[in-house]
Amino acid sequence: MLSKKIQAALAGSSAIRAMFVEGKELAAKVGAENVFDFSLGNPATPAPERLKQAMKDLLDTEDPLVLHGYMSNSGYEDVRETIAENLNRRFGTSFGWKNIVMTVGAAGGMNTVFKAILDPGDEVIVFAPFFGEYRSYAANFDASIVAVGPDYETFEPDLAAFRAAFTDKTKAVIINTPNNPTGVIYSDETMKKIAEILLGMEEAFKKDIYLISDEPYRELVYDGAKENFLTQYYHNTIVGYSFSKSLSLPGERIGYIAVPDTAADAENLLAGIEVANRTLGFVNAPSLVQKAVAACIDETTNLEFYDKNRRTLYEGLTGLGFTCVKPQGAFYLWLKSPVSDEADFVAAAKKYNLILVKGSAFGCGGYVRLAYCIPHEKIVRSLEAFAKLAAEYHLGA
Amino acid sequence: MLSKKIQAALAGSSAIRAMFVEGKELAAKVGAENVFDFSLGNPATPAPERLKQAMKDLLDTEDPLVLHGYMSNSGYEDVRETIAENLNRRFGTSFGWKNIVMTVGAAGGMNTVFKAILDPGDEVIVFAPFFGEYRSYAANFDASIVAVGPDYETFEPDLAAFRAAFTDKTKAVIINTPNNPTGVIYSDETMKKIAEILLGMEEAFKKDIYLISDEPYRELVYDGAKENFLTQYYHNTIVGYSFSKSLSLPGERIGYIAVPDTAADAENLLAGIEVANRTLGFVNAPSLVQKAVAACIDETTNLEFYDKNRRTLYEGLTGLGFTCVKPQGAFYLWLKSPVSDEADFVAAAKKYNLILVKGSAFGCGGYVRLAYCIPHEKIVRSLEAFAKLAAEYHLGA
């Protein structure tokens, strides 16, 4: 009785969620303290104290009919204005509130944008490895994902392959930097080349092509790397954002879409995203938390917490002989499997209570992802387990 | 550059939202206090005081990593258990937490159910007049709505027409009682006949057919009518619920889907709804408000507030000579347009600052909907404006 699409989805459901469930099962068996669960990108440092106070203040002072009531499907105008001004101040953009649509997280935002622009048969280019859910989001609108492989040295996009991936069905390109799952930040030079290629393809195919920048990790950058905002490179850039990581609110489902006036058909696109927000059933982003994030717009997450994990894990794993991409941002580490089929490696790791996610879930086999958003002491203790795993593969020997 | 579906949606966008916008524009011109805006089903009585306290307590006592963090895509197990127990206590059902999926409002829930069961070309039967968004939700999955007309005396479904509407493409039937837009509650007898017809059609077409009960107004019943829960009539019933109306939280986007064990393929259906929740981009219902509604599960809305509006409006309008269906539930009044094209009547009403929604938006021309969830003094003052409108049409003369 299930739809064909959902039957297929159930058969090949999220590898990340599957490992999360395996981790919980293992925890029930051996005790949560003995499981090193690197599966899920669930922030491990709490929401800022300011957020709690902001919510309590809103509950005490705002009219509940406004605070919990319907507003425009695109969100409260004052919240959108606050976000626009924050972006303008930080990135030199010139957004007004009309350029911002509040969304049910970045996942909700991405779906509203896809609904607004994708026709059946359209193609969306993504850079592998990539967040596997993009595939489901495109499939929701009968569009397909065209994956472009990485440069395996840097895990930046292979630009020759990118150039070759365009067809007359290409409607958009998704970019995600700092990247999930590699932790790589694409360089300024790479971004300029991507923009150049996009402009050339718009010319060649005589059509508009959107660059959709999925930026949930925008502020999670290390070693003094700058926070980046991608509308500066290419006129036709739509930005999707989530407060899940920066304010540790993944369960609250709050984010936004920013469409600059320079984007093709910007006004209609914003109207289309608003309608899509309604007709897809989101209706609007949750109301109280809209106002709460606006009140916390200048708050930042505990970057030091993740950075300490990053350094301990990267140094520990490379010291054990594992080959890793050094993370520059986000809270993921991308590790080369010692054997070609990384599913075997994931299974071996589980024997030592290490829960990893296979790279093929991100369109890039032979690697695994570690989400290091877990308590630091677990990172430290996990290295003993990784040492046994390394020994099994005769690494560093 | 917009998708064809969204271009079409923009052209024929929600009549309800359009009138809401017209009402706001009129308010800017003549002052909000002079506009009688009956367009939107936005609760006018505030969320219970208990909800505010529950949210503050949760913020003070719960670990923020849990309160704002990811949980299962179907929601917190303790919240689902609380809802299951509440339903079992009130309606004699036998739900466990696994039968409940927390959703981003009823709109989000309806879309996850549709995603889980509808294939392109499938048909969903609805009883006109009906909430127009059902059409968009079905279109999201390339399925179509088959509208069955009402008995124009009672505004219960025309059961002969219902029986004739089934084809081998019928996958589901939507039912909504207390009804938006009529305020009618389908009688016990009608429900039994609907169930009987459904059982016959399952037999005739040798397939499972789901009854999807959209119950946001379940608790908004007057004159001592009983609260109803529709799984009792037909084994294959899926219930969608929203706390928007009962707890005055429409902006927070919180509801649930209940699938009884008796439903066809129940276990897979629940798994499919969970996956759909994720892949459509909802991911999960907002976390803090999940826990807040569980803490307020025994709270009720200020029914007296709506009932007073209902009586004043119904008596006032019939006294002026208008023909109305007497509302038994929800907070809508269904009024017969004095002229066949109710768009003309809506335009005439606007001259007196009365904002109504045309019945054709609900698949039933010749009528208009009034959402009487506005302050009582506005109801009283609106009757002066309605008197002028009645005079224009020589009613009661």
* B25 and B124 belong to one structural domain: no
Look at the block and give the residue holding tokens 């360089």.
A187
The residues in B 19-58 lying below 8 A from A, measured between CB atoms, are 40, 42-44, 46-47, 51-52, 55-56
Domain end (from A262, A295, A328): A295
Domain end (from B261, B295, B329): B295
Contact A283 B252 (CB under 8 A): no
Q: Mean pLDDT throughout A4-16?
A: 79
Tell whether B189 is covered by a domain: yes
* B258 and B115 belong to one structural domain: yes
For residue B327, the enclosing domain spans 4-47+301-392
The total domain count for chain B is 2
Q: Which residues of A touch B133 (CB under 8 A)?
A: 278-279
The pLDDT assigned to B396 comes to: 79
Tell whether B129 is covered by a domain: yes
* B173 and B231 belong to one structural domain: yes
Sheet containing A367-371: give its strands across: A324-325, A332-336, A367-371, A357-358
Short-list B392, B291, B245, CA closest to B53: B291
From first to last of its 397 residues, chain B has per-residue pLDDT tens of 899 998 888 877 666 777 777 888 899 999 999 999 999 888 989 999 999 999 999 999 999 999 999 999 999 999 999 999 999 999 999 999 999 999 999 999 999 999 999 999 999 999 999 999 999 999 999 999 999 999 999 999 999 999 999 999 999 999 999 999 999 999 999 999 999 999 999 999 999 999 999 999 999 999 999 999 999 999 999 999 999 999 999 999 999 999 999 999 999 999 999 999 999 999 999 999 999 999 999 999 999 999 999 999 999 999 999 999 999 999 999 999 999 999 999 999 999 999 999 999 999 999 999 999 999 999 999 999 999 999 999 997 6
pLDDT in tens, A305-314: 999 999 999 9
Count of pairs with CB atoms under 8 A, one residue in A, one in B? 247
Tell whether A397 is covered by a domain: no
Q: Which pTM was predicted? A: 0.96
Q: Which residues of B touch A67 (CB under 8 A)?
A: 251
Determine the residue of chain A that is closest to B135 in CA distance.
Answer: A279
Question: What's A27's domain CATH number?
Answer: 3.90.1150.10
Contact B252 A110 (CB under 8 A): no
User: Helices (DSSP H) in B239-325: which residue ranges?
Assistant: 266-279, 287-295, 303-319
- Measured in angstroms, the CA of B245 and the nearest CA of chain A are apart by 10
Chain mean position to CA A311:
21
Angle at B385 (CA atoms; ends B28, B316), nearest 5 degrees: 130
The residues in A 277-316 lying below 8 A from B, measured between CB atoms, are 278-289
Q: Does residue A381 belong to the interface with chain B, where contact is any CB pair within 8 Å?
A: no
* A366 and A387 belong to one structural domain: yes
Determine the residue of chain A that is closest to B207 in CA distance.
Answer: A1
Tell whether B37 is covered by a domain: yes
* B26 and B84 belong to one structural domain: no
- Measured in angstroms, the CA of B339 and the nearest CA of chain A are apart by 31
Question: What's A230's domain CATH number?
Answer: 3.40.640.10
Q: Does residue B11 belong to the interface with chain A, where contact is any CB pair within 8 Å?
A: no
Confidence of residue A333 (pLDDT cuts 50, 70, 90): very high
Q: Mean pLDDT throughout A215-234?
A: 95
* A127 and A250 belong to one structural domain: yes
pLDDT in tens, A336-392: 999 999 999 999 999 999 999 999 999 999 999 999 999 999 999 999 999 999 999
Confidence of residue A96 (pLDDT cuts 50, 70, 90): very high
Short-list A344, A339, A327, A332, CA closest to A371: A332
- Measured in angstroms, the CA of A286 and the nearest CA of chain B are apart by 4
Q: Which residues of A touch B4 (CB under 8 A)?
A: 119
Q: Does residue B4 belong to the interface with chain A, where contact is any CB pair within 8 Å?
A: yes
CB atoms within 10 A of CB B266: 18
Q: Which residues of B touch A283 (CB under 8 A)?
A: 104-105, 107-108, 253
In the 8-state DSSP scheme, what is residue A221? Answer: B
Report the complex ipTM. Answer: 0.95
DSSP characters for B214-242? E-TTTT-B-TTPPP--GGGT-TTEEEEEE
Determine the residue of chain B that is closest to A53 in CA distance.
Answer: B59
* A231 and A347 belong to one structural domain: no
Phi, psi torsion values for A303, nearest 5 degrees: -60, -35
Contacts of B90 (CB under 8 A, 6+ apart): B227, B229
Q: What's the rounded Cα separation, in Å, for the pair B163 and B258?
A: 26
The residues in A 180-219 lying below 8 A from B, measured between CB atoms, are 208, 210
Confidence of residue A24 (pLDDT cuts 50, 70, 90): confident
Sheet containing B324-325: give its strands across: B324-325, B332-336, B367-371, B357-358
* B232 and B203 belong to one structural domain: yes
Q: Which residues of B touch A73 (CB under 8 A)?
A: 17
